[in-house]
């Protein structure tokens, strides 16, 4: 009975890991205003959010006041590796309409204004 229970628990755990969404993980941002970050993306309710988990500048890792802040907010899967939600830009403390397009371990993240007509883009790389 114990062996059956352990096998069942292990199988369910592996099934959950196998069904993780491709957006989940740790992503490295592009350099913005002399710094870059590692962002950990995980489920938040029915969608996905990303929190700044490490920050780096020209001197290496440093303790930014933005550590632990949510930079990717409420990204809802749209299908085909695309997501929509909001993104926060730390350098100007503004929140934008966010759009993500995944391609393997690459993410094209856009922050947009004017209903998505004008967008700035960053390319992030999945590191874990």
Q: Which of 64, 70, 73 is nearest to 99 (CA)?
A: 73
Domain membership flag for residue 4: no
Domain membership flag for residue 111: yes
Is the model's pLDDT at 87 over the cut of 80? yes
Q: Which of 49, 85, 86 is nearest to 68 (CA)?
A: 49
List, for residues 18-52, the tens digit of each pLDDT value.
Answer: 567 899 999 999 998 889 999 999 999 999 999 99
Check: pTM over 0.95? Answer yes or no.
Answer: no
Domain count, the chain: 1
List, for residues 69-82, the tens digit of each pLDDT value.
Answer: 999 999 999 999 99
Domain of residue 88, residue span: 25-126
């Amino acid at each position: 009975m114990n062996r059956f229970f352990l096998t069942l628990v292990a199988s369910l755990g592996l099934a959950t890991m196998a069904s993780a969404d491709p957006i989940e993980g740790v992503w490295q941002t592009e350099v913005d205003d002399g710094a870059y970050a590692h962002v950990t993306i995980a489920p938040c309710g029915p969608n996905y959010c990303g929190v700044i988990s490490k920050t780096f500048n020209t001197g290496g890792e440093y303790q930014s006041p933005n550590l632990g802040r949510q930079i990717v907010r409420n990204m809802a899967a749209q299908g085909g590796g695309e997501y929509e939600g909001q993104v926060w830009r730390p350098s100007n403390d503004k929140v934008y309409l966010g759009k993500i397009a995944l391609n393997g371990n690459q993410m094209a993240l856009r922050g947009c204004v004017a209903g998505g007509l004008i967008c700035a883009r960053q390319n992030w790389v999945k590191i874990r």
